[in-house]
Amino acid sequence: MGSLHLDLKDCSNCPIRHRAVCSRCEPDELETLEEIKYYRTYEAGQPILWKGDHMEFVASVVTGIATLSQTMEDGRTQMVGLLLPSDFIGRPGRTEAPFDVTAVSDVTVCCFRRRPFEGLMTTTPHIGQRLLEMTLDELDSAREWMTVLGRKTAREKIASLLVIVARRDASLRKQSPKNGMIFDLPLTRESMADYLGLTLETVSRQISALKKEGIIELEGKRRVIVPDFETLLLETGDDVDGGFIS
């Protein structure tokens, strides 16, 4: 989930190819997409979209992580979602951005000009089918987050976020989460606190407790090692046979 080091002119080199909106496209369909795509990069903290912006493009997150947030009438900002690699920004038929989208880390997005992309939705069934699946997955994830934010303890919230990131990281590597897996946590502790509705002190205390009990190991500030994935799952408060949508 770090910075981009691959040559993406050829879609076959794309690190999200098997998960993105174009994952089921045939070679001729990819050639059509090539004609309307371009890449943009954003530094950590830089806005990608402001709520109400006219949507000139839709896009897939290729590397990095971004947040979806909404500013309330009293000026407070509520983080309402995360965009991880392969997640989609925008909706065909929607001309204005419904949320602020901000890069948390350095982000690269693969953009498609909105109007031509909307045209492809009717002529390229593979794109429409995959986008529908992604939208339904997003809905499931949103429902899960309602449980995370509303009913879980601080420890369960932290463990749940770690599991979500671990599963996505494994998926991008075409693997299943496993014991001893290593991934980079793309959020600062401040961002985790904002997203989970916790204080910075609580986040730091809970992460330290998970580390002290051997549930996770840390290398530096961001690298996480999970000695036993099932043990981490138990800390989420979820049914181990169910869990989060990845």
Q: What is the pLDDT of residues 49-64, one digit of tens each?
A: 999 999 999 999 999 8
Residue 152 has pLDDT above 90, yes or no: no
Q: What was the pLDDT predicted at 203?
A: 95
Q: What was the pLDDT predicted at 145?
A: 67
Measured CA to CA in angstroms, residue 239 lies from 7, 142, 229, 244 at distances of: 41, 18, 14, 10
Q: Which of 88, 68, 86 is nearest to 78 (CA)?
A: 68
Q: Which domains occur in the chain, in start order? A: 11-127 (2.60.120.10), 152-234 (1.10.10.10)
Q: What is the mean pLDDT of residues 180-197?
A: 87
Task: Give the span between the Cα atoms of 192 and 103, in whole angstroms.
Answer: 14
DSSP strands (E only) in the chain: 37-42, 47-49, 57-63, 66-71, 77-83, 88-89, 100-103, 107-113, 181-184, 217-219, 223-226
Would you place residue 5 in the very low, low, confident or very high pLDDT band (cuts 50, 70, 90)?
very low
Would you place residue 246 in the very low, low, confident or very high pLDDT band (cuts 50, 70, 90)?
very low
Token pair 């492809």: residue: 120
Measured CA to CA in angstroms, residue 116 lies from 113, 123, 135, 242 at distances of: 6, 11, 20, 39
**Start-to-end CA span in the chain (Å):** 15
DSSP state of 90: S
Lowest mean pLDDT among 39-48, 138-147, 173-182: 138-147
Q: What was the pLDDT predicted at 10?
A: 65
Q: What was the pLDDT predicted at 223?
A: 92
Could you read off the pLDDT of 62-106 as tens digits, one per residue? 998 898 888 878 877 777 888 888 899 988 888 999 999 999 889
Residue 209 has pLDDT above 90, yes or no: yes
Would you place residue 245 in the very low, low, confident or very high pLDDT band (cuts 50, 70, 90)?
very low
3-state DSSP assignment of residue 33? helix
Residue 195 has pLDDT above 90, yes or no: no
Would you place residue 244 in the very low, low, confident or very high pLDDT band (cuts 50, 70, 90)?
very low
Would you place residue 239 in the very low, low, confident or very high pLDDT band (cuts 50, 70, 90)?
low
Task: Give the span between the Cα atoms of 136 and 222, in whole angstroms.
Answer: 30
Q: What was the pLDDT predicted at 122?
A: 83
Rounded to 10 degrees, what is the CA torsion of 92, 133, 1, 213? 140
Query: Exposed/middle/buried for 45, CB within 10 Å: 0-12, 13-18, 19+?
Result: exposed
pLDDT, greater one: 161 or 214: 214
